[in-house]
Amino acid sequence: MEDSRIQTIYETIEFVSKVEESQRQGGKFSKSFQTIHQLLHDKSKTDLSVPPDDANAISFRYTIPKEICMSAKTGRDLFSEVTLSALLSLFDEVTSWLIMSVDRRKRGGVSVALGCHLAETNVAMPEAGDVVEILAKVDKIGRNLGFASFEARRVDTGQRICIGYHTKFLPMGWLFETAMGPYLYPITRAAVMHFSSEKAENGEGQSLSDLLKIGVINDNGTSDSTSSSSKYTFNITDDHWNAVGTLHGGCQAMIYEEVGRRIMQAECSANSLSAADNNLLHLESIHIDYLTTESKGVTLDYGLFNIGINRALMRVEMKSCNNGSKV
């Protein structure tokens, strides 16, 4: 049973990889995480397994690529570590194909809600080359919604890093669900595997620091990537797309964290607080509601609900530059 389930998971991962290769023009954001490459080409290192008491759960080891670590300067020291939103991006992809592997109609769906929080207050975030254990589980699949949960642990210390959840709206239309249903899926999969590109992934990605270029609109209407302002902009290209040609949900999470960091730096500097130092500012919890998709450009507004001695509660809202609808 366990071996059969692992085989199904690997087949799903391989199928998703081929579909993404055929549909995605850029997709550099997703490729930077190297998740599928590690799982398919470094099986001995990832050690993917299914718990004997839960066929809907998996665990595997993931080596943090340098490309997903964000660099910052604290005094004279330069440090680089993975952020909470980067781990959330990883979980977004893992739980998506995990739900697909469990659902009998192989529905990928679209994200409705995604979130996570640090498991401990003073957790040491992993750096490039560190190995973390990823545990993900499909909690429930219904007619319209799929629910998954996840957590990450440091392999070297066993310390839990973060815990989170993912909710997806699953209906994909009758044509997709017919082709991916239990009767036709073997034929669909065989066709995709046969006609897809033979080009192999080399496991290399672009630095997320280079991909996440967030601009600022000042009060006078000019753009400046370094000024502090209440409105930020982000130009979406195919590098930030998911497989269906819209903004990757994990990329959206990382944009929110970066905007939040800039806002808090400005607030701390304005009030002469030492937390303006990058090393003292970090995200503890993030929750995202997905309302619609966007493939071009967005603006971001924010609101600070509460600033305490050690923590601040913030809301960031993303809107389409096209029609002003909330994303």
Q: What is the pLDDT of residues 216-232, one digit of tens each?
A: 765 544 444 444 446 78
**Is residue 202 a part of any domain in this protein?**
no
**What 3-state class would DSSP assign to 55?**
coil
Proportion of the chain above pLDDT 90, given as a percent: 40
**What 3-state class would DSSP assign to 265?**
helix
Residue 75 has pLDDT above 50, yes or no: no
Lowest-confidence segment of 49-58, 98-107, 216-225, 275-284 by average pLDDT: 216-225
In the chain, how many domains are there? 1
pLDDT of the residue at 77:
46
**Is residue 53 a part of any domain in this protein?**
yes
* Residue type at position 12: T
Cα separation, 6 vs 144, whole angstroms: 25
* The two three-digit tokens of residue 35, written as one number: 């998740």
**Is residue 97 a part of any domain in this protein?**
yes
**Is residue 62 a part of any domain in this protein?**
yes
**Is residue 114 a part of any domain in this protein?**
yes
**131 or 299, which is more confident?**
131
With bands split at pLDDT 50, 70 and 90, how would you rate the model's confidence at 27? confident
Taking all residues of the chain, what is their mean pLDDT, rounded to a whole number? 84
E strands, 224-296, are: 231-235, 285-289
Lowest-confidence segment of 77-81, 209-213, 246-250, 273-277 by average pLDDT: 273-277
**Is residue 216 a part of any domain in this protein?**
yes
Lowest-confidence segment of 61-65, 98-102, 119-123, 252-256 by average pLDDT: 119-123
Residues 107, 118: contact at Cβ < 8 Å?
no
**192 or 217, which is more confident?**
192
**Is residue 201 a part of any domain in this protein?**
no
DSSP for 216-227? EE-TTS-B-SSS
pLDDT of the residue at 218:
57
Looking at mean pLDDT, say which of 121-125, 136-140, 214-218, 311-315 comes out highest.
136-140
Q: What is the dihedral of CA 22, 32, 294, 317, to 10 degrees?
A: 160
Residues 83, 254: contact at Cβ < 8 Å?
yes
Residues 74, 276: contact at Cβ < 8 Å?
no
Cα separation, 242 vs 250, whole angstroms: 9
- Mean per-residue pLDDT for 28-47? 89
With bands split at pLDDT 50, 70 and 90, how would you rate the model's confidence at 43? confident
Q: What count of residues does the chain have?
A: 327
pLDDT of the residue at 26:
57
* Three-state secondary structure string covering 5-39: HHHHHHHHHHHHHHHHHHHCCCCHHHHHHCHHHHH
Residue 124 has pLDDT above 90, yes or no: no
**99 or 226, which is more confident?**
99
Q: What is the pLDDT of residues 284-300, one digit of tens each?
A: 999 999 998 888 889 88
Contacts (Cβ under 8 Å, ≥6 apart) of 68: 32, 33, 82, 86, 89, 90, 205, 208
Residues 256, 314: contact at Cβ < 8 Å?
no
E strands, 238-284, are: none
pLDDT of the residue at 123:
86
CATH number at residue 62: 3.10.129.10
Cα 197 from chain centroid? 25
Lowest-confidence segment of 8-12, 193-197, 202-206 by average pLDDT: 202-206
Residues 112, 125: contact at Cβ < 8 Å?
no
**Is residue 4 a part of any domain in this protein?**
yes
Cα separation, 246 vs 196, whole angstroms: 21
Cα separation, 141 vs 147, whole angstroms: 6
User: Which structural domain range is residue 118 located in?
Assistant: 1-196+207-222+229-326
